[in-house]
Structure 1
Amino acid sequence: MKNAINKTIKLLLLPLIVLMSFTACQDEVTDVTDPDQQETLVANSPLATSVERTTLRDGSADNIIDSGNCISVNLPVTVNVNGLEITIDSEEDLEVIEAIFDEFDDDEDILEIVFPIVIILNDYTEVTINNQEELEQFVDECSGENEDDDDIECIDFQYPITISVFDSNFDVIDTITINSDEELYHFIDELDGSVLASINFPVTMINADGTTTVVNNNDELLAAIEAADDTCDEDDDNDYNDDDNIDISADDLGFLLTECTWTVDKLEVNDQDLEDQYEGYVFTFFENGTVKAEINGNFDEGTWELIQTDAGIKLNLQMNNLTDFNNELWQLHEIDDEYGEVKIDFRQGEDRLRFEKHDCDVNPAVCPEDVVDAILAECYWRAGFNGDDNLAEYEFYFNENDDLVVQHSVNDQEIVGFWNTSTTDSGATVMNFDVDQPLGDINGEWTVIECSDERVKMVMGDLYL
């Protein structure tokens, strides 16, 4: 306002015709208080560079087609997928490609693009591509799968925003409304030394987790962008929708693993399919970081750990004897939950491990040995064996000193034997029976998987008691 007053005083001293002439040539200039130069958006400044990186076009969404993080294919496009010709009209149609690829695990997935196509670079330039060789030239300019690249994907602007543009005298010459990343990118890219601009605050930024941050000046905006960089999984790999349900914390994934028991649906190591070797194995993950793999009453034990990284969740799995599973860097790739079937897919390079939910109703870790002992000692028990009622007439008395007395409720026949419980290194409670005929079928080592005042359930291989 001080500058405006000084100008007015000077103008009053000029002849009227000069005043009129001066007013005419300044008709399109808005006279405002000089802006704070610290709030200007200067070409090539750290803030301008960060804003430009945030508004670069992300090309990773269609990597399943072009394998290039810095380019995207202009839709519609026609492709041949494992011999089937389909037309992709929208990003949602990419799920069709994924479904075809995922239909079989033991086939070779092949995608061929029907040229010519138009690709869009990360600076929004459009280029016509006539063959695969031309496409590869642009793909080679991109960073590889999940490698660091220029674009910042973990924070976005909430549009619209407005920008005031000043000349070298700090007079406003334009106010521009920005409605998209492309518009903001081009504005920043075209800034030069003779043009100064200022973002009109406050501005709302959208974080990768959906929360918002309101910034009130340039410093806060730069700090918000720098703080968000590399804080999320940018999903820069060549699968589509491969992160189904992996927006999950390590704690929640750990709860899922320990809540259920799991079988091996897929194991591929060093280009060898190994899942058939582990058919029938049931894996149990315990909260104390141990894991047990069991088949037909035989056990292998090991350790497991989930590690939260900037690139996602990694599983460190180490088995004592089943060393095909051992890897410190199994990367969570996908959680597939369809029609009640849950599969958790881990990858490490070309190696692959996929667990399938076996039983989510039980977990041996919930029945400590002392709890089982106390429950069994309270009263006598009747038993069911593999769903049959052939033991229904027997009453089981679990006495102290590991004495077991089984009495027939009709003919008073009494059968004696022994019982005891123990705890494995993995935390599971094991029940051992040694009883005379005709109950010899229950002899052996059973793992307790459920316990309450009304029911104790245990398994031994495919048998349950």
Structure 2
Amino acid sequence: MRVFELMKEVLDVEKLKTITFEKKNTMLILNKNISKLLIFSFLIFVSCQGEIEEQKTNNQVSIAKDSPFTSYLQRVVMVKTADDNIIDKSSYCTVKFPYTVTVNDVTIAINSADDYAKVVSNINANTTDDDIVKIIFPVTMIYYNYEEELIQNELQFNALLDYWESLPDLLAKINCLNISYPIVLNVYNSSNQSANSVVIANDEAFYNFINNLSSGKLFAINYPISLKDNNNHTKIINNNSQFDDAIEDAIEHCSSNLNTSLNFLETIISGSWKVAYYYDESDKTFLYKDYQLVFKNDFTVKAVKSSTVLNGTWETKVENGVREFKIHFDSDNPLHELDEGWKLFEFNNSQIRFRGNTSDSGTQTEYFYLIKI
């Protein structure tokens, strides 16, 4: 099955088309000048330095592929895989319409997301039946990254579920946030100093654009854009900072993004952690990635690197519905820079993500990610 290679290779997709100027012999000089103007304007908009990082010019912010904001954007536009969990029991794939299931010996045609309610109604209709949902095979599964695979029988389907179960906890799609399309992205390629614009028509096109973005390219969203939440309320977004805040709000308040079965305190004191990502004005992960962190229930923390052992403390509290977290090492300790008033962004059994302060200009946010060893 191709699904077993899903996490090891990037899906080959048709490159997104970009908007370019037609070059005709009679317009050659004019178009060269227009191209130069585009590049010059974008160079004002994007400042390319030795290290690619988020930068602000003309009320817009350029974004690199390895930016935390980019990863959250991609999770917003992933396939909606959680809606049919009552049928396929996985948040990393969904069954492609149309297909048929049986519930308590009743056959139900699933032609759209509205038909999930029929399955729920059947399950709730009687308390004495088995409520087992059986898929009529073959069906096509769509994965969170838009890849599709034909599943011929229940044996293949069970192997698929076992595959997802065997993987480390993945941070799934961010629900309750929908982009109103089309939107325009301004793209700058630092390798050849070219600039162009891309029209994005839907979630799949946006996901594939980010997936295929090379390390030498930066992109910027042409604001304003419109977002809709799960209540279908429209919100006008004027910059990356507002978009980032909308994503944070969706993670914290959308019920389908919350895992209420997890307890933060139990999670953080369970096992050992390492710094997966640390950003403060620039990516500084390399300074801390070799430390093994153990958080103890007496609110002490031990950091081990080879033969070096460093001791510190940690604390946490919930303030106005937001969990705050602070880690403390002595000022002469190489881990002292981690001392911040962090806010919990999201977590699962194997990943914990914190956000720090955002600069007054709205261009930079501090990030602190932990991953279980």
TM-score of the aligned structures, taking structure 1 as reference length: 0.42
Secondary structure of the equivalent of 2:256? coil
Matched, 1:153 2:175: yes
* Unmatched runs of 5 consecutive residues or more in structure 1: 1-19, 238-307, 311-465
RMSD between superposed Cα atoms in Å? 3.2
Which amino acid letter does the alignment assign opposite residue 29 of structure 1?
Answer: S
In the alignment, which of 28, 37, 45 is matched to residue 31 of structure 1? 37
Note closer, same or farther for the CA distance 1:199–1:118 as it changes in structure 2 (3 Å cut). Answer: same
TM-score of the aligned structures, taking structure 2 as reference length: 0.51
Note closer, same or farther for the CA distance 1:236–1:88 as it changes in structure 2 (3 Å cut). Answer: farther
* Unmatched runs of 5 consecutive residues or more in structure 2: 1-25, 48-54, 56-60, 260-319, 323-373
- Contact 1:31-1:171 within 8 A present in 2 as well: no
* Structure with more contact order per residue of length (Cα contacts < 8 Å, sep ≥ 6): 2
Cross-structure match for 2:195: 172
Cα distance in 2 for partners of 1:161, 1:58 equals 20
In the alignment, which of 81, 101, 106 is matched to residue 59 of structure 1? 81
* Deviations 1:226-263 (CA, angstroms, capped at 9, x unpaired): 343232200789xxxxxxxxxxxxxxxxxxxxxxxxxx
- Contact 1:69-1:143 within 8 A present in 2 as well: no
Of 60-69 and 21-30, more deviation after overlay is shown by: 21-30
Q: Structure 1 residue 211: deviation in Å? A: 3.4
Larger radius of gyration: 1
In the alignment, which of 233, 245, 249 is matched to residue 211 of structure 1? 233
- Contact 2:95-2:139 within 8 A present in 1 as well: yes
Cα distance in 2 for partners of 1:96, 1:22 equals 61
In the alignment, which of 43, 46, 54 is matched to residue 65 of structure 2? 43
Cα distance in 1 for partners of 2:194, 2:146 equals 31
* Deviations 1:24-53 (CA, angstroms, capped at 9, x unpaired): 994783523222342222112112111011
Cross-structure match for 2:263: none
Cross-structure match for 1:120: 142
Matched, 1:131 2:174: no
Secondary structure of the equivalent of 2:198? strand
Cα distance in 1 for partners of 2:175, 2:165 equals 15
Q: Structure 1 residue 59: deviation in Å? A: 0.9
* Deviations 1:48-77 (CA, angstroms, capped at 9, x unpaired): 111011111121111222111111101111
Cross-structure match for 2:338: none
Alignment map for 1:33-432 (pairs within 5 Å) = 33=41, 34=43, 35-37=45-47, 38=55, 39-142=61-164, 149-168=171-190, 170-173=193-196, 175-234=197-256
- Contact 1:30-1:172 within 8 A present in 2 as well: no
Cα distance in 2 for partners of 1:196, 1:59 equals 29
Runs of 4+ in 1 over 6 A off after TM superposition: none
Note closer, same or farther for the CA distance 1:208–1:95 as it changes in structure 2 (3 Å cut). Answer: closer
The percent identity for this pair of structures is 27
- Contact 2:64-2:219 within 8 A present in 1 as well: yes
Which amino acid letter does the alignment assign opposite residue 220 of structure 2?
Answer: S
Q: Structure 1 residue 206: deviation in Å? A: 2.4
Q: Structure 1 residue 218: deviation in Å? A: 2.5
Note closer, same or farther for the CA distance 1:75–1:228 as it changes in structure 2 (3 Å cut). Answer: closer
Cα distance in 2 for partners of 1:113, 1:163 equals 40
